[in-house]
Structure 1
Amino acid sequence: MNIEQPKSDNLLTALVSGCTASAFAATLTYPFDFLKTQEQLNNPELMKKFNITNGPHTLGQMSKGCSALVLGSILKNGTRLISYNWTSKFMAIDGREGKTTSAPRTVIAGAISAFFETLWIIPFENIKITMVQNQTWMNEMTRIKEKIVDKTEKNLFKREYVSPHKYYTTEIFDQYFGTAQQSKFAAAAQKQIKNPFDTLIEHYNKHPSLTLSSTIKEIYSIKGISGFTAGTFITFTRQIAITWVWLSTYNATRQLIDPHKKSDDKGWFGHDYNALEKTGLHLVSSLAVIAVTQPLDVLKSHIQSKNGKGMYRDALSTAYKLFMQQGAKSLFRGALPRWCKLIVSGGLTASIYGYVEDIVNVAGGQKMFEEKRLE
């Protein structure tokens, strides 16, 4: 079955409208993203035990990492539009009425564009998470007046609060994996010969980066290029799962609402709905996305965290550790702010896109320095 490519905005209009809408929506909904990431990486039991608070107190604190997310969103949407436009034209077939394409070719074009746009998500997600952790660690440093120590515990992580938002030195990792030297002589010798890598870590623990450029420098200094590519597999898995769950739930809910509704040329999937039906479909679909993909999002955040490379090998081992150490509920932390973001972001992006599109179309019809004749 061949289908004609529908008439739509030109590429420039779509780029300007799409990227602008994405940037505005990402900025306005970023507080939800900050709270989600912070909640996912916190350890509530230890925080409660040692009386630790690290939540943001100002809007400025909640905006840390926003620059990385916005820049990533702009590049992601631009890549999506350009790659889909090029791929769909490349695979189009010459027909009697011009260029036509088939449904499988359209799906392939969408999959290719989704692959390229996901590549942009990964490095900027790593930068965003580090910026969120840096702000959170800064909050902890300024609020912890007296260190609380439980002398009955031998394990460092149970004896005192070791923040997951600061970089772990070699000594802390030894404590975490249970490979710490027991000999006092060996410990004293280790302190005399200080690891240069630990010196760099201690510097950034004392002076966490809070800007985009300084955070990029920080990640590269400590982790190298791999610091920007962490969580590649789990990010692709999450993106595929989001698309599959969203479309499946939307289609199933649509049929449940009105299974006998006839298709026409209006609306998503060839159906026309009123505002209440659209809102209901959006809410149910977004809720299903959260229920199914939230564990993947939590695993991604931990793998891309400051100490993710040293603490976790892969997604399965990360899930096992979180389940054993913090329980099953740890895999669903941050679900509420993420759901709020999904609900607001969809309608907000569509509204801003339409508004910017109208402006671009009006501006596109104007000519600069147009000469008018006076009669």
Structure 2
Amino acid sequence: MSKREKPLHSLIAGSTAGAVEAFVTYPTEFVKTRSQFSGKRESPLAIIRNTLRTKGVAGLYSGCMALVVGNSVKAGVRFISYDQFKHMLADSEGRVSAPRSLLAGLGAGMMEAVFAVTPSETIKTKLIDDAKSPNPRFRGLMHGTATIVREEGIRGIYRGLFPVMMRQGANSAIRFTTYTTLKQMVQGTMPAGQSLSSGVTFGIGAIAGLVTVYTTMPLDVIKTRMQSLEARQAYRNSFHCAYRIFTEEGLLRFWTGTTPRLARLVLSGGIVFTVYENVIKLIGGREST
């Protein structure tokens, strides 16, 4: 008899995991985003050093609340979507093959991109871009969001929707497939009914994050450029953005920010899956099917 996550509990566990992960790993997201803007290239250490000197520790958390709120919603949508898609695609014994897990993850990624990721990441990116100026215009999440909507309309917080959908679809497909496959392999070597320890869950999640980074990095760079403050003047669309990066800055520019994103997603994968599994256990969120 297989176990299935209850939808409400899956939403609660996913949202909690997303909020915790976003806050803990935010400085790496800040550094990654700053390194991907066009203009002067800076190493991660140089960005951290300059930010601490000019803005203090608080500077490394510019735009943080946008990501915490967005990541909480995103993770909730991601897990509840993935669990539902996975249940629909599971075989009679409740197992999901790698191709079907890939499909479920792709669907979950598309859902989270539309309902959570694009608005929160567009706002976060604009806040980080604005914060690097000597006289920032935005006074925080609420003021920044209101200003963006007033000046650009709803489209202003949905810029970069296409690359975000592509990135999130690929992210979730690869991450969930890697995690589910490794989890099933490990469980296959354990006595029936025995749960994975938090350490093993963290390790499997971290490996899933590692694989995800290198395969989806170009989409992340394009997404960041399309959500920057200068995007409307610089790029006609995502394909034009990719073309300009390739012809003007070279192929390797698509992997700019890999180190801080790698640090974040390895930690993220471990934190998210570990918190999720433990919250599900705590609230008794799995039911027999």
The TM-score range, normalised by the shorter chain, is: 0.7 to 0.9
- 1:23 aligns with 19
C-alpha distance in 1 between matches for 2:37 and 2:237: 17
Report whether the alignment pairs 1:312 with 2:235: yes
Matched, 1:67 2:62: no
Query: Cα–Cα, structure 1 residues 37 and 273, in superposed 2: closer, same or farther, change >3 Å?
Result: same
Q: Which residue identity lines up with residue 314 of structure 1 in the other structure?
A: N
1:208-252, Cα deviation, whole Å (9 max, x unpaired)? 103111111121122222111111111121123334544677799
TM-score normalised by structure 2 residue count: 0.75
Distance (Å, rounded) in 2 between the aligned partners of 1:212 and 1:305: 16
TM-superposed deviation, 1:317: 1.8
Q: 2:188 aligns with which of 253, 256, 264?
A: 264
Summarize deviations over 1:19-77 as a string: whole Å, max 9, x none: 112101111101100010001115225x89xxx99932122111111111111122223
**Correspondence 1:115 to 2:110:** yes
Contact 1:135–1:210 (Cα < 8 Å) also in 2: no
Post-superposition Cα deviations, 1:94-116, rounded to whole Å, max 9, x if no partner, equal x9x9xx89979887665544322
The one-letter amino acid of 2:246's match is F
Summarize the Cα distance change of 1:329–1:55 in structure 2 as closer, same or farther, 3 Å threshold: farther
Equivalent residue, structure 2, for 1:212: 141
Corresponding pairs, count: 270
Change (3 A) 1:232 1:225: same
Deviation of 1:121 after TM superposition, in Å, equals: 0.7
Unaligned runs of 5+ in 2: none
Label 1:313 to 1:289 Cα distance change in 2 as closer, same or farther (>3 A): same
Q: What is the CA-CA distance between 1:88 and the residue it aligns to?
A: 6.9
**Which residue number corresponds to residue 248 of structure 2?**
325
Counterpart mapping for 1:55-204 below 5 A: 55-57=50-52, 58-83=56-81, 111-119=106-114, 120-137=116-133, 141=134
Deviates more, 1:281-290 or 1:307-316: 281-290
The answer for unaligned runs of 5 or more in structure 1 is 142-205, 255-260, 363-375
Task: Tell me how far apart the structure 2 counterparts of residues 313 and 231 of structure 1 sit (CA, whole Å).
Answer: 11
Aligned mates of 1:248, 1:83 — CA distance in 2: 14
Query: What is the root-mean-square deviation of aligned Cα atoms in Å?
Result: 4.1
Question: In the aligned structure 1, how far is the partner of 2:186 from the partner of 2:206?
Answer: 23
Aligned counterparts of 2:276 and 2:177: Cα–Cα separation in 1? 25
Partner of 1:226: 155
- Do the aligned partners of residues 8 and 26 (structure 1) sit closer, same or farther apart at CA in structure 2, a change above 3 Å counting? same
1:307-358 residue CA offsets vs partner (Å, 9 max, x unmatched): 1122101223212222333333322211100000011112222333344445
Q: Distance in 2 between matches of 1:226 and 1:209?
A: 18
Q: Evaluate the alpha carbon distance shift between residue 336 and residue 113 of structure 1 in structure 2; reply closer, same or farther with a 3 A threshold.
A: closer
* % identical aligned pairs: 28
Pick aligned residue for 1:303 from 222, 226, 236 = 226
Q: Distance in 2 between matches of 1:62 and 1:274?
A: 29
Q: Is the 8 A contact 1:29 1:341 kept in 2?
A: yes
Q: SS at the partner of 1:56?
A: helix
* 1-structure distance, mates of 2:278, 2:186: 30
CA distance in 2, matches of 1:358, 1:277: 13
Partner SS state of residue 36, structure 1:
helix
Instruction: Say which structure is richer in helix.
Output: 2
Contact 1:134 1:210 in 2 (8 A): no
Cα gap change, 1:54 to 1:318, in 2 (>3 Å): farther
- Structure 1 residues 354 and 248: alpha-carbon distance in aligned structure 2, compared to 1, 3 A threshold: closer
Which letter does structure 2 place at the counterpart of 1:348? I
The TM-score with structure 1 as length reference comes to 0.59
Kindly provide the amino acid, as one letter, of the partner of residue 141 in structure 2: L
Q: Which amino acid aligns with 2:159?
A: A
